[in-house]
Amino acid sequence: MKTTEAVAVARMLDEAGYDGMVTSDHMIYPRHLQSTYPDSGSGTPPWPPETPWPDAWVLTGAMAAVTTRLRFSNAVYIAPARPLLEVAKQVATAAVLSEGRVSLAVGVGWMREEYALMGQDFRTRGSRLDEMIPALRALWRGGWVSWHGRHYDVPEMMIEPHPPSPVPILAGGESEAALRRAAGLCDGWVGYAYRWDEAVGYARRLTELRREFGREHEHFEILLALLEPPTPELYLRARDAGITAVMCAPWMGAESRSGGGDGGVERFRGPIERFAETVIAKVRA
pTM of the full structure: 0.94
Read off the pLDDT of residues 106-137 as tens digits, 9 standing for 90 and up. 999 999 999 999 999 999 999 999 999 999 99
Q: How large a percentage of the chain has pLDDT more than 90?
A: 93
8 A C-beta contact, residue 72 and residue 21? yes
Reported as a pLDDT band with limits 50, 70 and 90, residue 57 is very high
Q: What are the sequence ranges of the domains in the chain?
A: 1-167
Q: What is the mean pLDDT of residues 32-46?
A: 92
8 A C-beta contact, residue 204 and residue 183? no
Q: What is the mean pLDDT of residues 269-282?
A: 96
Assess whether pLDDT exceeds 70 at residue 253.
no
Across the chain, what does the average pLDDT equal?
A: 95
* pLDDT value at residue 41: 86
* pLDDT value at residue 191: 97
CATH topology (fold) of 1-167: TIM Barrel (3.20.20)
Assess whether pLDDT exceeds 60 at residue 259.
no
Read off the pLDDT of residues 68-84 as tens digits, 9 standing for 90 and up. 999 999 999 999 999 99
Read off the pLDDT of residues 183-242 as tens digits, 9 standing for 90 and up. 999 999 999 999 999 999 999 999 999 999 999 999 999 999 999 999 999 999 999 999
Q: Who has greater pLDDT, 257 or 222?
A: 222
